[in-house]
């Protein structure tokens, strides 16, 4: 049977982004967004052994997983890469999903991350949210933003993550990285503590609950740049998600606060490339007077119109981004139509572009 170390090495050789170890299936790798299976099906006892080997590689105790049925952690293997692991039970047996994370920080140019996204790193204060479905590349984009700050600014950057993925060396900035469970109990408590740690920039891995959202908004109000993520798609959905997470009696207050501190929302998706691999498409909203008014007056559904006409201010809709990728030959017409929000508009623009 394959060992966990052999599995990790094989994933690197196949340039896989993820490893899926599920009882009843062979070892499965996600390569350029497509799941490919290798070898013979694994039995539950095989997965259990692989899980034990993974915990040994990560020098981590299995107690939390055995108690709760879920666990997240990360570790590095010298000469290979870092790996983010989720261990969980399904159908009564142990399963693992392992994300491959390079030791090297990502290059935004190679990843086609536009300058208007990276420019949020240059803000001195406010709240900037990076949104998208799981696996859409939010963490990678955030790592590029933190590295830009680290390279060009003299600042104290505090990251709060679950788990740590990319490791940042101290360059012009000082980067303190805290991991949930190991270094701190919750996002909320770590955020409150961060305000006493002389930060300039605070990265919150995910805003999961009203307490964390409120703490992030408060940190932005006190003059810090706060970067975080949400599992939403689009600026309007992001604003709605934040407001709706609070009880009705608190929604007016958080809406007013959000209208004052929110500096931008970046939403991204990964699209299969015309020549293999995946390329990102982005929606970018920058807060201006009109955007803040729409948030304050509870009209987030009108944000899309503001974004579509805000190109001169660095804004861009998802459809505009997808169309640009097609014109640059990075994605096919079929993928552009499949991922576009306004199919009729997209079809018209694609026809004109050909």
Spatial separation of the C-alpha atoms in residues 254 and 238, rounded to whole Å: 13
Spatial separation of the C-alpha atoms in residues 63 and 316, rounded to whole Å: 46
- Give helix 44-57 / helix 4-13 axis angle, nearest 10°: 80
Q: How far is CA 105 from CA 11, 145, 165, in A?
A: 19, 11, 10
Same structural domain, 126 and 150: yes
Residue 323 forms part of a structural domain: no
Task: Give CA torsion, residues 159, 202, 97, 233, to 10 deg.
Answer: -170
**Structural domain of residue 24, as residue ranges?**
4-101
What DSSP character marks residue 141?
H
Residue 205 forms part of a structural domain: yes
Residue 58 forms part of a structural domain: yes
Same structural domain, 147 and 213: yes
Helix, strand, coil percent values for the chain (each to nearest 5) = 40, 25, 35
Q: Six-digit token pair at 217? A: 């908004």
Report the number of secondary-structure helices (H) and strands (E) in the chain: 14, 13
Same structural domain, 130 and 92: no
Spatial separation of the C-alpha atoms in residues 339 and 233, rounded to whole Å: 12
Same structural domain, 153 and 299: yes
For residue 121, the number of C-alpha atoms closer than 13 Å in the C-beta half-sphere is 25
Q: How far is CA 242 from CA 68, 202, 211, in A?
A: 28, 19, 11
Q: Helix, strand or coil for residue 81?
A: strand
Residue 226 forms part of a structural domain: yes
What DSSP character marks residue 169?
-
* pLDDT for residue 265: 98
CA of residue 182 relative to chain centroid, distance: 21
Same structural domain, 200 and 156: yes
Closest to 269 measured CA to CA, from 199, 338, 344, 167: 338
Same structural domain, 65 and 28: yes
Residue 247 forms part of a structural domain: yes
Same structural domain, 84 and 186: no
* pLDDT for residue 234: 93
> Radius of gyration of the chain from Cα atoms?
21
For residue 113, the number of C-alpha atoms closer than 13 Å in the C-beta half-sphere is 25
Residue 342 forms part of a structural domain: no
Give the number of domains in the chain: 2
Domain boundary among 53, 73, 101: 101
* pLDDT for residue 135: 85
Closest to 285 measured CA to CA, from 112, 123, 141, 120: 120
* pLDDT for residue 187: 92
Residue 327 forms part of a structural domain: no
* pLDDT for residue 277: 86
Per-residue pLDDT of the chain (354 residues; tens, 9 = 90+): 899 999 999 999 999 999 999 999 999 999 988 999 999 999 999 999 999 999 999 999 999 999 999 999 999 998 899 999 999 999 999 999 999 998 889 999 999 999 999 999 999 999 999 999 988 999 999 999 999 999 999 999 999 998 888 999 999 999 999 998 889 999 999 999 999 999 999 999 999 899 999 999 999 999 999 999 999 999 999 999 999 999 999 999 999 999 999 999 999 999 999 988 899 999 999 999 999 999 999 999 999 999 999 999 999 999 999 999 999 999 999 999 999 999 999 999 999 887
- Spatial contact of 41 and 26, defined as CB atoms under 8 Å apart: yes
CATH of the domain at 281: 3.40.50.300
Same structural domain, 172 and 127: yes
CATH of the domain at 60: 3.30.450.90
What burial class does residue 11 get, using C-beta atoms within 10 Å of its C-beta: 0-12 exposed, 13-18 middle, 19+ buried?
buried
Same structural domain, 152 and 204: yes
* pLDDT for residue 261: 98
Domain boundary among 101, 132, 165: 101
User: To which H or E segment does residue 67 belong?
Assistant: helix 63-68
Same structural domain, 71 and 177: no
Same structural domain, 270 and 310: yes
Spatial separation of the C-alpha atoms in residues 183 and 178, rounded to whole Å: 6
Domain boundary among 101, 135, 150: 101
* pLDDT for residue 181: 83
* pLDDT for residue 46: 96
Q: Is the four-CA dihedral 66, 67, 72, 76 of positive or negative sign? A: negative
Q: Six-digit token pair at 91? A: 């159908």
State the residue for tokens 């997240």: 72
Same structural domain, 91 and 181: no
Residue 334 forms part of a structural domain: no
């Amino acid at each position: 049977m394959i060992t966990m170390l052999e599995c990790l090495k094989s994933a690197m050789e196949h340039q896989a982004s993820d490893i899926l170890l599920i009882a009843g299936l062979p070892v499965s790798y996600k390569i350029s967004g497509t799941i490919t299976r290798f070898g013979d099906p694994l039995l539950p006892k095989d997965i259990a052994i692989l899980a034990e080997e993974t915990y040994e590689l990560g020098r981590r105790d299995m107690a939390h997983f055995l108690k709760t049925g879920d666990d997240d952690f990360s570790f590095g293997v010298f000469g290979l890469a870092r790996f983010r692991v989720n261990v969980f039970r399904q159908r009564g047996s142990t399963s693992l999903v392992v994300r491959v994370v390079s030791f090297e920080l990502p290059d935004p140019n190679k990843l086609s991350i536009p300058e208007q996204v990276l420019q949020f790193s240059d803000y001195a204060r406010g709240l900037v949210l990076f949104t998208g479905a799981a696996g859409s590349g939010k963490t990678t984009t955030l790592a590029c933003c933190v590295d830009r700050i680290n390279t060009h600014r003299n600042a104290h950057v505090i990251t709060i993550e679950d788990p740590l993925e990319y490791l940042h060396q101290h360059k012009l900035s000082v980067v303190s990285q805290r991991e949930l469970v190991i270094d701190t109990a919750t996002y909320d408590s770590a955020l409150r503590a961060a305000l006493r740690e002389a930060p300039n920039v605070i990265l919150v891995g995910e805003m999961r609950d009203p307490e964390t959202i409120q703490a992030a908004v408060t940190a932005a109000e006190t003059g810090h740049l706060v970067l975080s993520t949400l599992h939403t798609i689009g600026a309007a959905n992001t604003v709605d998600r934040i407001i709706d997470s609070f009880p009705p009696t608190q929604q007016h207050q958080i809406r007013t606060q959000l209208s004052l501190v929110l500096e931008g929302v970046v939403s991204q998706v990964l699209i299969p490339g015309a020549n293999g691999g995946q390329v990102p498409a982005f929606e970018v909203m920058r807060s201006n007077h009109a955007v803040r008014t729409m948030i304050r007056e509870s009209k987030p559904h009108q944000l899309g119109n503001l974004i579509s006409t805000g190109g001169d201010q660095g804004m861009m809709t998802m459809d505009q981004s997808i169309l640009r990728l097609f014109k640059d030959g990075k994605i096919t017409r079929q993928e552009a139509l499949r991922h576009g929000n306004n199919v009729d508009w997209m079809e018209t623009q694609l026809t004109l572009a050909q």
